[in-house]
Amino acid sequence: MNNFELEKIVNKKLNSNQYNDVIPNGLQIEGRPKIKKIVTGVTACQLLIDLAISNNAHGIIVHHGLFWDNHPKIIKGIYRHRIKSILANNINLYSWHFPLDVHPILGNNAQIGHILNINVRGYIKSCVPWGMLKEPIKSKDMSQLITQKFHRVPFYYGNNITQNIHKIAWCSGKGQKFINFIPEYGVDTFLTGEVSEETIHFAHENKLHFFSIGHHASEINGIKALTNWLKIKFSLDINFINIDNPI
């Protein structure tokens, strides 16, 4: 497949042009024109790049790319090494960030809802869906379910709450700030990737169950879903590689 054609296909599938993002979505570093083998992962870290090189990949697709609005506009240190490795091996680097968070089927949030069997009822923000479990469950049972499904013991806060979990809002990644918007929706639980100090006070004072399942763990299934879609739809030689991260 042509490298620019692959970019067009995924941009169209994820409706990338609809969103303003903090990172350029699509082809970030141009490599060889023809792509036969692709490696995917959550983040364009050196470990993933090295594995792509050792696997003779022509392309890398990630959720977290290399060029962010809040990063210095200089190329040195680890970023120089990453970019040099990609260019020296004529590899195409693609990244889809927010579009891969919010896609209604392939997106990270959609995947979380599907995995936890949450019936989506609406959206508090475009990246914050809310929904209902079929039956209310205890917090310890939700923790066990998350551990089983995401292979990560979640951080939980909510010991001051007696009611079970039924109505959940969630946001993949670094979404803890969105907890501020959910009380008016009657939600009893908020789940996201990361946690901040002020998150705990807000959850406590609003009597909310709060789960942090890890930034990486909350965003692993979107890129896996995109990988599977490309493999099935276009018969590509494409494989996901998990570079685990405890955060």
Q: Where are the domains of the chain?
A: 3-102, 118-214
- Is domain 3-102 in CATH 3.60.15.10, yes or no? no
Q: In the block, which residue shows the tokens 């050196």?
A: 46
Q: How many residues does the chain have?
A: 247
Q: For the segment 99-141, what is each residue's pLDDT rounded down to a tens digit?
A: 999 999 999 999 999 999 999 999 999 999 999 999 999 999 9
215 appears as a binding residue in the annotation: yes
Q: What are the two backbone dihedrals, phi and then psi, of residue 19, each rounded to the nearest 5 degrees? A: -120, 140
Tokens encoding 9: 């296909």
Question: Under a CB-based contact definition with an 8 Å cutoff, are residues 134 and 64 in contact?
Answer: no
Q: 184-243: per-residue pLDDT in tens?
A: 999 999 999 999 999 999 999 999 999 999 999 999 999 999 999 999 999 999 999 999
Q: Is 64 annotated as a binding residue?
A: yes
Cβ–Cβ under 8 Å, residues 162 and 219: no
Q: Give Cβ neighbours of residue 157 (< 8 Å, ≥ 6 apart).
A: 195, 199, 200, 203, 204, 209, 210
As a whole number of Å, the CA-based R_g of the chain is: 19
Of all residues in the chain, the percent with pLDDT exceeding 90 is 98
205 is in an annotated binding site: no
Report the pLDDT averaged over residues 53-68: 98
- Name the percent of the chain lying above pLDDT 70: 100
Query: How crowded is residue 39: how many other Cβ atoms within 10 Å of its Cβ?
Result: 25
- The stretches of 96-138 forming alpha helices (DSSP H) are 98-102, 108-115
Predicted local distance difference test score (pLDDT) of residue 99: 99
CB 49 within 8 A of CB 82: yes
> Is the whole-model pTM more than 0.85?
yes
Domains 3-102 and 118-214 share a fold: yes
For residue 63, say whether it is annotated as part of any ligand binding site: yes
Q: Is 166 annotated as a binding residue?
A: no
Query: At 136, is the secondary structure helix, strand, or coil?
Result: strand
118-214 placed in CATH 3.40.1390.30: yes
Per-residue buried b or exposed e for 157-168, using 16+ beta carbons within 10 Å of the residue's own CB:
bbeebeebbebb
Contact at 8 Å (CB) between 242 and 220? yes
Please report which helix (H) or strand (E) contains residue 131, including its range: strand 128-137
- Mean confidence (pLDDT) of the chain: 98
